[in-house]
Amino acid sequence: MRNSVLSQIFEQMADIMEIVGEDRFRINAYHKVARIISDIPGDTGTALSSGQLAATPGIGKSSLAKIEEFVKTGKITAHQQLLAKIPATLLELLSVPGMGPKGVKAVYEQLNVKSIPELKAALAGGRVSQLPGFGDKKSQAITRGIEFLEKSTGRIRLDQAAQAAELVRQLLKSHSGVRNIQTAGSLRRRVETIGDVDILVAADKGKKVVAAFTSAGFVQEVLAAGGTKGSAIIDAAGCGVHVDVRVVAENSFGAAAQYFTGSKQHNVRLREIAVKSGLKLNEYGLFKAEKVLAGAVEEDIYKKLKVDYIHPFLREDRGEIEAAKKHSLPELITSRDILGDLHVHTNASDGNCQIMQLVKAAQKPIPGDLADTAGSKWGPYKYICITDHSKSSAIANGLSARQLAQQVEQIRKLNEQLKDITILAGSEVDILADGSLDFDNKLLSELDFVIASIHSGLASSREKVTMRTLKAMDNPYVNCIGHPTGRLIGQREPMDVDIAAVIKHAAQTHTALEVNANPYRLDLKDIHCRMAAEAGVKLVIATDAHSVENLGLMHYGVATAARGWVTRNDVLNTYSAAKLKSWAAAKRKT
């Protein structure tokens, strides 16, 4: 069962209740349940029967009964009843910027508008601006909202957001009066996809900073330009990116950073703590009556609320506030803990450079693409593992057994001349349709580290893709499963693989799971990383690099793992080369 389906049902119930005009707190409760379900890494049915769901704050009797009904019958009666109240297409109107539940209700009840095409017609005919509460400007804003929706590609990848952020950051950095710049929002939290990019600026003259931003050459369209906030669509990373620049005074910078980093739910929880202590928290500071307790420094907000400082990657209301109260937050993995890249391709298969070009790059500090973060450079590495494709990946120019044997020989020779870094011989071997591998065990036994990946038949049944993955792990020479779900963000859905079963089997077979750091993949994703680490499964964070530049993608994988509460000890490529080799050898002995 897909948790996303159930989560969307609760989301839809909340949306319909908003349009119908139910109590907003009740609606909030439904939204919360939807979010909790989408955060469950494993099977909801399992979480239900184990009692884990019932113990989760935010899920009460009523929601529990609905979830139970869904697990048993595949549907929820209350959901069906709500759906019967409005035309199904009405919900799409909520996705139009500028249209909220009240607006949707108004155009539906008074103009019989039920869909986006009908809304467009009503706008063009001037009927919307005649409605009470609407006007010319409001209907123009909705028209622009529809245009934006039609040309927007939705959420963008982390690397695209990072590019846009750096563009704006470089521009504002040189502006006089700017004292500090900080990326905020979902980009700072390293959520796997980004809706809009938030840049926070400390400066006195907000209007000038906003003007500098909205008049920049890369701006395609200005959405808002006030004294504290500028909003624009900018041309970056080959697409239009929505960027918000917010300007605050220096003495509020920390509070604003906290506030605009979110997540929304994390902030709600934090403000609840403030209220219970008789304090008030907003984007300007933490206050006791009129007195400022904290504001300039983000860490002080947490300190004064008597919770440990919470890293932005953890701010999702997934238990981090409880852990911060108990001083039991994990010490998160950072890029500087990474001692080598275990998944790289050369021009022997589908990479674009030679082994030694990658090695030389790995011997220097490796630059990431987000300058405002600690660890924007890391390395040099102690080892790098060459893992070209195997023969079945014909499109990727996979190596034959003979070619791989030659490459191993070449690597051994190269190592004789190298100091400070070791080249490991590896392979990204294909997992075939029946779960067997593309190379025989004799050849695999020559390698230092073996990644096994599925590259074909990704759309086949849950049973099939799960069986293939589990069987590959049974091979004593397979050390790691590459990109375990096979998803490509924005392009391809993940395989319907039973992640809980994969994690369980990985623990049993002494096999690691990859956290593929490529921003198209981020596979495993954050909540699966957490589930794996909790099960004692080792992770390999690796770039799957096909070029020297790709080595710089490592930090996206590290952030994804850290979002899953992963620590240094959970990650194999924080080990020394010797320790790593003996870890791999241990499986072969059993």
Partner DNA sequence: GCCGTTTTCGGCCCGACTGTTTTCAGTCG
Tell me which residues touch DNA (CB under 7 A).
23, 25-26, 28-30, 33, 57-64, 96-104, 129, 132-139, 141, 145, 185, 195-196, 198, 224, 226-229, 244, 260, 264, 267-268, 271-272, 274-276, 280-283
Question: Residue 46 or residue 282: which is nearer to DNA going by CB?
Answer: 282
Q: How far is the CB of 309 from DNA (least distance, A)?
A: 20
d(CA 142, CA 128): 10
Q: Which residue from 411, 281, 292, 307 is spatially nearest to 358, judged by alpha carbons?
A: 411
User: Could you tell me which residues come within 8 angstroms of residue 124 by beta carbon, excluding any fewer than 6 positions away?
Assistant: none
d(CA 155, CA 129): 30
Structure tokens at 258: 């906290």
Question: Residue 48 or residue 452: which is nearer to DNA going by CB?
Answer: 48
Q: How far is the CB of 116 from DNA (least distance, A)?
A: 14
Question: Residue 144 or residue 377: which is nearer to DNA going by CB?
Answer: 144
d(CA 571, CA 538): 6
d(CA 365, CA 362): 7
Question: Residue 282 or residue 363: which is nearer to DNA going by CB?
Answer: 282
Q: How far is the CB of 99 from DNA (least distance, A)?
A: 6
Q: How far is the CB of 229 from DNA (least distance, A)?
A: 5
Q: How far is the CB of 55 from DNA (least distance, A)?
A: 9
d(CA 190, CA 282): 23
DSSP 351: -
DSSP 567: B
Q: How far is the CB of 170 from DNA (least distance, A)?
A: 23
Question: Residue 26 or residue 151: which is nearer to DNA going by CB?
Answer: 26
Q: How far is the CB of 132 from DNA (least distance, A)?
A: 5
Q: 230 pairs with which residues across the strands?
A: 225, 245
Q: How far is the CB of 462 from DNA (least distance, A)?
A: 29
d(CA 526, CA 333): 13
d(CA 497, CA 259): 37
What phi, psi does 442 have (nearest 5°)?
Answer: -60, -45
Question: Residue 2 or residue 264: which is nearer to DNA going by CB?
Answer: 264
What phi, psi does 180 have (nearest 5°)?
Answer: -160, 145
Q: How far is the CB of 110 from DNA (least distance, A)?
A: 13
d(CA 552, CA 517): 9
CB atoms within 10 A of CB 403: 16
DSSP string across 157-176: EHHHHHHHHHHHHHHHHTST
d(CA 221, CA 240): 9
Question: Residue 255 or residue 506: which is nearer to DNA going by CB?
Answer: 255
What phi, psi does 235 have (nearest 5°)?
Answer: -90, 105
User: Could you tell me which residues come within 8 angstroms of residue 582 by beta carbon, excluding any fewer than 6 positions away?
Assistant: none
Question: Residue 10 or residue 449: which is nearer to DNA going by CB?
Answer: 10
Q: 377 pairs with which residues across the strands?
A: 367
- Torsion angle in degrees (nearest 10) through CA of 411, 545, 387, 495: 180
Indicate the angle between helix axes 24-38 and 3-20, nearest 10 degrees.
170
Please give the helix or strand (H or E) that residue 367 lies within, else none: strand 366-367
d(CA 381, CA 362): 5
Question: Residue 224 or residue 578: which is nearer to DNA going by CB?
Answer: 224
Indicate the angle between helix axes 116-124 and 136-151, nearest 10 degrees.
140
Question: Residue 64 or residue 401: which is nearer to DNA going by CB?
Answer: 64
Q: How far is the CB of 43 from DNA (least distance, A)?
A: 20
Question: Residue 231 or residue 346: which is nearer to DNA going by CB?
Answer: 231
Q: How far is the CB of 306 from DNA (least distance, A)?
A: 14
d(CA 319, CA 265): 11
Please give the helix or strand (H or E) that residue 414 lies within, else none: helix 401-416
Question: Residue 185 or residue 482: which is nearer to DNA going by CB?
Answer: 185
Q: How far is the CB of 105 from DNA (least distance, A)?
A: 8
Question: Residue 276 or residue 419: which is nearer to DNA going by CB?
Answer: 276
Q: How far is the CB of 30 from DNA (least distance, A)?
A: 6
